[in-house]
Amino acid sequence: MRIERDIIYIILAFIVLMVVVPWTAGQLSDQIFFNWPFFFEVAIGGLLSGVMYSLIALGFVLIFKASGVFNFSQGAIVLFAALTLVGLHGLGLPMWLAIVATMGVMFLLAVSIERLVLSKLVNQEPIILFMATIGIAYFLDGFGQTLWGSEVKVLNLGISEAPGFYFDGLILINDFDLFAAGIAAVMVVGLAIFFQYTRIGRALRAVADDHQAALSVGIPLKHIWIIVWTVAGLVGLVAGIMWGSKMGVQFALSLIALKALPVLILGGFTSVPGAIIGGLIIGAGEKLAEVFLAPMIGGGIEEWFAYMLALAFLVFRPQGLFGEKIIERV
Amino acid sequence: MIYREAGVYKSTYREDHAILTIPQDRWAMIGIFAIAFLLIPAVGSEYWLGAIMLPFLILALAALGLNILTGYAGQLSLGTGGFMATGAFSAYKLATSFPDMHILLVILGAGLITAAVGILFGIPSLRIKGFYLAVATLASQFFLIWMFDKFGWFTNYSASGVISAPPMTIFGDVFVTGPEASLVAKYMFTLSVVVLLALVAKNLVRSNIGREWMAVRDMDIAAEIIGIPMLNTKLKAFAVSSFFCGVAGALWAFLYTGSVEPLAFDVNRSFQVLFMIIIGGLGSIMGAFLGAAFIVLLPILLNNLPSLLGLNIKTDMISHIEYMIFGALIVFFLIVEPHGLARLWSLLKEKLRLWPFPH
């Protein structure tokens, strides 16, 4: 019943976003060149860049689900992971070894965050934990750049950035974006399997459902938190590799986290599929609006459109598309 | 023994309703006012007045505004920068459209316009709560900044996008804005506005409306059940909070920087003000000032520390290390005292009540 309604919501949202808005915009303004291939090109480009937002939003969702912490430092983790990877690679390690070493660093980071910050703030209000993660974000931004320097670094994966033509040369798609989408898909499937079929995954779901009940059946909360922050760090590493090779490893990576926030509230804080669908909607909506709507109202609307879109969604569904229904009792 | 309520007899309702009931508190407050109004303008150097006291006072005012919304009414907001920008730009439009308008009226008008904008962006708070609301308020932040940046009407079609505040006077001939204004005049004007508004805030939060806000903060459903109108109360909080932020923005642009630019009010400003109220103490007027002092002074201290210690570090390295120390200190403060500096202050007062005989 609920799922059916959700699906209807999503389909409606897609129709509005992808068809009605750009079509009316195309009809209304004369200077815009509107044809379907171009429209689909923009939409697919948007969907693919939305996948990149989802990569970052995933890290948020994992931590929020397992510990109820609104983790603002995910962007800083992405930057830190990418900086460490490039830095280690620059020291002469081969790429695969650098990736493994960075994974180790992410694990150490998770342990120290749990030991030094979270365990000291047990039972505090959510806003205090949120502030603590902002503190962590500042620290990591400074720490990463102190260690590895702040100049823009190149991360080359050997994938061509050149656009390829698909569908008889009608639609132009960036190969790299396709690759990133593939990686994201693999990662989501991997996470889903991890959550559904492994012992640790089951423990994680139990903790997400109810901390106290999980504790009482003997699930060690501390270890769970370390695992979850490590997984978020690994997701951050993947996001860092993707974003880093797209736009260079630099401080701006840390700010992309802000772009992941509307994805997050659109999809719901507690849902992994929500992060993906939210990313797709935001990515496509943002690009379509920028191309078809922006010329009418002055351009450059990309920076706030995602937030307005998410806000409009929230008014109808305050918990996001897939978030758990908020039930309040007095 | 000396500092306590016992022995203070109140014979009128007026005395009973006083903000500070203990005589020592009153003396301390008079002392603080004397230092702020007489001593600092007399001895403060140009650097102290212009680069430390002015931003401290103005940001304290913005923190006061956010504290009303977040600390008292419980609505988490990340749109402070956007509202400050609204105040700055509406003050600029008012001052240039009506050149004869008195500066107090300009600032009041800027506050009222910002309050209206705040009500508009506060409407979703009826459905959206908690962190969802925090992210939703980012919409107002980015949208407002974009709007001021994009439409030439707000900057009177200035080519550069950065515009300077017109010179304005108070008492007929004392310049408080523009290049001719002295720092002392600016400081005194800002201080008066801030003190006045802090008094208003203090009285608001201990009145009927403040109690309604706190009831909504503690549990909004329960508050609704005992008959507090939800829409009304939340929108009032948004209006009052945005009024304060708007005035702070107008003061920032007109008196502190002297120029109106959207960049000064980006999302980092919102986070900065949020830091202030959390470090200072949520739901405390005093906390807004303590937090503002901490956040304004800390970077200045960190900046000067290496040269004081005689260390020679590259400047970009210093800024990175500053980030690290700033982040670490925030985490440290939250662990040591999650309820902020204001809580430390009240603990100190508790101790003082027993001093010097703790038993």
In a domain, A327, yes or no: no
In a domain, B160, yes or no: yes
A100 φψ region: left (φ > 0), alpha (ψ -120 to 50), beta (else):
alpha
In a domain, A321, yes or no: no
Q: Over chain B, what is the mean pLDDT?
A: 87
Choose the closest CB to B136 out of A70, A132, A314. A314
**Residue to test with chain B: of A53, A123, A139, most B Cβ within 10 A:** A139
Identify which has the larger pLDDT, B280 or A254: B280
Give chain A positions within 8 Å (CB) of B219: 330
Lowest mean pLDDT among A259-263, B39-43, B168-172: B168-172
Q: Do A117 and B331 touch (CB under 8 A)?
A: yes
Give pLDDT, residue A103: 93
In a domain, B104, yes or no: yes
Give the confidence band of A205 by pLDDT, cuts at 50, 70, 90: confident
Cα B85–chain centre separation:
14
Give pLDDT, residue B190: 92
Give pLDDT, residue B357: 77
Give pLDDT, residue A165: 62
Lowest mean pLDDT among A311-325, B181-195, B212-226: A311-325
What 3-state DSSP class applies to B348?
helix
Over residues B117-138, the mean pLDDT reads 87
- With 90 as the cut, is the pLDDT of residue B290 above it? yes
In a domain, A182, yes or no: yes
ipTM summary value: 0.82
Give chain A positions within 8 Å (CB) of B135: 261-262, 264-265, 307, 310
Give A10's contacts (C-beta < 8 A, 6+ positions apart). A277, A321
Give pLDDT, residue B65: 95
Answer whether A251 touches B (CB < 8 Å).
no
Measured distance CA(A122)–CA(B354) in Å, rounded: 32
Choose the closest CB to B146 out of A136, A304, A315. A304
Q: Give per-residue pLDDT as tens, A212-227.
A: 888 899 888 888 889 9
Give the confidence band of B359 by pLDDT, cuts at 50, 70, 90: low
Over residues B175-184, the mean pLDDT reads 79
Nearest CA of chain B to the CA of A322: how many Å?
A: 13
Q: Are strands B174-175 and B169-170 parallel, antiparallel or unpaired?
A: antiparallel
- Alpha-helical runs (H) found in B67-207: 80-97, 103-122, 130-150, 183-205
Question: Whose CA is closest to B187, among B37, B71, B87?
Answer: B37
Measured distance CA(B324)–CA(A32) in Å, rounded: 48
Give pLDDT, residue A200: 87
Q: Which residues of A208-217 are buried (b: 16+ CB within 10 A; e: fewer)?
A: beebeebeee
In a domain, A323, yes or no: no
pTM of the model: 0.87
Measured distance CA(A239)–CA(A231) in Å, rounded: 12
Give pLDDT, residue B58: 95
Q: Do A121 and B335 touch (CB under 8 A)?
A: yes
Give the confidence band of A13 by pLDDT, cuts at 50, 70, 90: low
Identify which has the larger pLDDT, A37 or B343: B343
Give chain B positions within 8 Å (CB) of A301: 146
- With 80 as the cut, is the pLDDT of residue A283 above it? yes
Give the confidence band of A15 by pLDDT, cuts at 50, 70, 90: low
CA angle B144–B248–B194, rounded 5-degree value = 165
Give A281's contacts (C-beta < 8 A, 6+ positions apart). A13, A14, A17, A50, A266, A309
Chain A, residues 286-315, CB within 8 A of chain B, namely 298-301, 303-304, 307-308, 310-311, 314-315
Choose the closest CB to A310 out of B131, B136, B221. B136
**Residue to test with chain A: of B313, B320, B343, most A Cβ within 10 A:** B320
Lowest mean pLDDT among A71-75, A82-86, A284-288, B293-297: A284-288
In a domain, B279, yes or no: no
Q: Give per-residue pLDDT as tens, B235-272.
A: 999 999 999 999 999 999 998 988 888 888 988 899 88
Answer whether A135 touches B (CB < 8 Å).
yes
Give pLDDT, residue A168: 58
Identify which has the larger pLDDT, A237 or A149: A237
Tell me the CATH number at A34: 1.10.3470
In a domain, B275, yes or no: no
CA angle B48–B53–B57, rounded 5-degree value = 175
Q: Give per-residue pLDDT as tens, B303-345.
A: 777 777 776 667 777 778 888 888 898 888 888 888 888 888 8
Q: Which residues of A162-177 are buried (b: 16+ CB within 10 A; e: fewer)?
A: eeeeeeeeebbbbebb
Q: Do B334 and A145 touch (CB under 8 A)?
A: no
Q: Give per-residue pLDDT as tens, B18-31.
A: 888 788 888 889 99
- With 60 as the cut, is the pLDDT of residue B13 above it? yes
Give pLDDT, residue B117: 95
- With 50 as the cut, is the pLDDT of residue A128 above it? yes
Nearest CA of chain A to the CA of B49: how many Å?
A: 29
Give the confidence band of B233 by pLDDT, cuts at 50, 70, 90: very high
Give pLDDT, residue A1: 43
CA atoms within 13 A on the CB side of A112: 11
Chain A, residues 58-87, CB within 8 A of chain B, namely 70
Range of the domain at B143: 24-267
Structure letter (DSSP) for residue A72: T
- With 50 as the cut, is the pLDDT of residue B35 above it? yes
Percent of chain A scored above 90 by pLDDT? Answer: 12
Give pLDDT, residue B261: 84
In a domain, A329, yes or no: no
Q: Do B139 and A145 touch (CB under 8 A)?
A: no
Question: What domain count does chain A have?
Answer: 1
Unique residue bearing structure tokens 């969604």: A313
In a domain, A108, yes or no: yes
Measured distance CA(B83)–CA(B245) in Å, rounded: 6
Give pLDDT, residue A24: 62
In a domain, A236, yes or no: yes
Give chain A positions within 8 Å (CB) of B149: 300
Over residues B203-214, the mean pLDDT reads 93
Phi then psi for residue A70, to 5 deg, are -80, 100
* Cα separations in angstroms, B328 against A77, A131, B279: 15, 12, 13
Question: What domain count does chain B have?
Answer: 1
Give pLDDT, residue B339: 85
- With 80 as the cut, is the pLDDT of residue A35 above it? no
User: Could you count the other beta carbons within 10 Å of the beta carbon of residue A28?
Assistant: 11
Give pLDDT, residue A5: 62
In a domain, A322, yes or no: no
Q: Give per-residue pLDDT as tens, A294-317.
A: 777 767 777 788 888 888 888 888
For chains A and B, CB pairs below 8 A equal 138
Give pLDDT, residue A26: 58
Choose the closest CB to A135 out of B127, B221, B330. B330
Nearest C-alpha in A relative to B78: A258
Kindly provide the residue ranges of all beta strands, DSSP E only, lying in chain B, ordered along the sequence.
Answer: 163-164, 169-170, 174-175, 259-260
Nearest CA of chain B to the CA of A54: how many Å?
A: 16
Give pLDDT, residue A155: 77
**Residue to test with chain B: of A131, A266, A317, most B Cβ within 10 A:** A131
Q: Which amino acid is at B39?
A: L
Give the confidence band of A77 by pLDDT, cuts at 50, 70, 90: very high
Range of the domain at A175: 2-316
